Structure 1
């Protein structure tokens, strides 16, 4: 496994494959308020590619091209937040997408353990550390521990998707899962537009 850190954007000519796992690190948990600092990605080959986003930066052409490529499935855990954070910073809506947290909630209704750490433990017998989760991601220089932590959030998502897809198919929920994934970018935009916790389908 290797971590590749870039400033501002992915390098020209880098192709991460048809399914790219993506996660974001920000200064907080409010996409419209808290600055996007880091975007980490993996094509499922054990390597992580990390883009450090500068304060005030609003363009990352290569990254945005991948986010909107209809031939590349963007794989998230709790994509609702990451999609909103990316859209707020770069004004680009990631699609098509898959979210392992939504997938887990659709089929693992016997538990409330849907966080990434729990899913990796339960489905892949993998333990990851969350020690750096609340560190300062806006620092000019990120530590090796921060980079390793960020990488761990994407390196296992391909395997996790495979395990969840088997459960979704077993329970006959493939269609409804896909419909949820298709709606997810719109849900992220509703968050940014001021409807974060409002159920627009309620009476």
Structure 2
């Protein structure tokens, strides 16, 4: 396996010229996610079947011409389980490469089980054991070791021959458009940012709180994310999620009172205590009629189990007819997403909230008649 580590602009320009007319590129990224909200990109691996390069984004490089290749709709970009890679490209390139072919999802669509790891795929399809000892390595260190570089290069070196086996089966089943559409859907979902005023609904145990408490949680949840974005800190490094609810329940009026809350660390109070108290004060100014209603879990709706079972049966019938694995068509989470969309959101909220997976993209094309009463 031969590859080059690209650290200069001349090297990158030459590589871009080499791959500029290739119809298929195998791509991977290495990144770190330590205390940051956003992934820190450390390496971009690209293989066209002839030229394999590891691009060092920490070097002083202009990636403009390289990004144009990833933008080219005539070039198929192949990745394995690209959800986090999509986030990397959204952050650092400002777009998501398309069309994008996810080999992990393709295998799932072909009935090979959920979430097959890369090493497992390579063993199954190529009968090659790959070394995964560097999977938890520090990719931001410089210089990278030969072992790190070999590991990173292997990810795309083996990805391309795996794709060549998978694409034949996908084309035989006429599933190519589904694979592409699923990656587009993942990119759309990654790009969506929940509005500040709705963040509190996703906080664990928020359903236990009364409206007067939810208005505090709403303030805190919005503040926490905005600070995380501003400081590029992971949410729990701003304030741990379970501490949000504890603060809401105890309503401290001073920094000392906040320090006495179990599990609240002094460092959290030192960094953010004053801001948290301001959120509590801000919540007090909200009129009662503007308090959010108590949150209901789906399990609290009397007909939930019956309705979920009915939807699942309809999906099962469609999936069998189309020869698509049922768990690919709709997970329990996706069924719950559909029910929540109908039962929990009013017409105004639906206008600013993405439709559930079953009401958009490729799934909707198959399921729209069976679930037409849910398409509000």
SS for the counterpart of 1:154 is helix
SS for the counterpart of 1:141 is coil
1:53 aligns with 2:189: no
Q: CA RMSD in A?
A: 2.9
Structure of larger gyration radius: 2
1:61-85 per-residue CA deviation (whole Å, 9 max, x = no partner) reads 1221121112211110112211211
> What residue ranges of structure 1 are gaps of 5+ in the alignment?
none
Higher relative contact order (CA closer than 8 Å, sequence separation 6+)? 1
Normalized per residue, which structure has more strand?
A: 1
Normalized per residue, which structure has more helix?
A: 2
TM-score (norm. length: structure 1): 0.83
**1:49–1:58 CA distance, 2 compared to 1 (3 A):** closer
* Other-structure match for 2:344: none
> What residue ranges of structure 2 are gaps of 5+ in the alignment?
196-201, 203-332, 340-376
* Other-structure match for 1:123: 125
Given that residues 104 and 115 in structure 2 are in contact (C-alpha distance below 8 angstroms), is that contact kept between their aligned partners in structure 1?
no
* Post-superposition offset of 1:174: 3.5
* Post-superposition offset of 1:135: 0.6
1:4 aligns with 2:11: no
* Post-superposition offset of 1:166: 2.8
Aligned pair count reads 197
Mapping of residues 48-197 of structure 1, within 5 Å: 48-54=52-58, 60-109=63-112, 111-112=113-114, 114-190=116-192, 193=193
Q: Distance in 2 between matches of 1:79 and 1:31?
A: 19
SS for the counterpart of 2:84 is helix
Given that residues 8 and 61 in structure 2 are in contact (C-alpha distance below 8 angstroms), is that contact kept between their aligned partners in structure 1?
no
**1:167–1:144 CA distance, 2 compared to 1 (3 A):** same
1:99-118 per-residue CA deviation (whole Å, 9 max, x = no partner) reads 10111111134x34611110
TM-score (norm. length: structure 2): 0.47
**1:91–1:128 CA distance, 2 compared to 1 (3 A):** same
Q: Distance in 2 between matches of 1:31 and 1:63?
A: 26
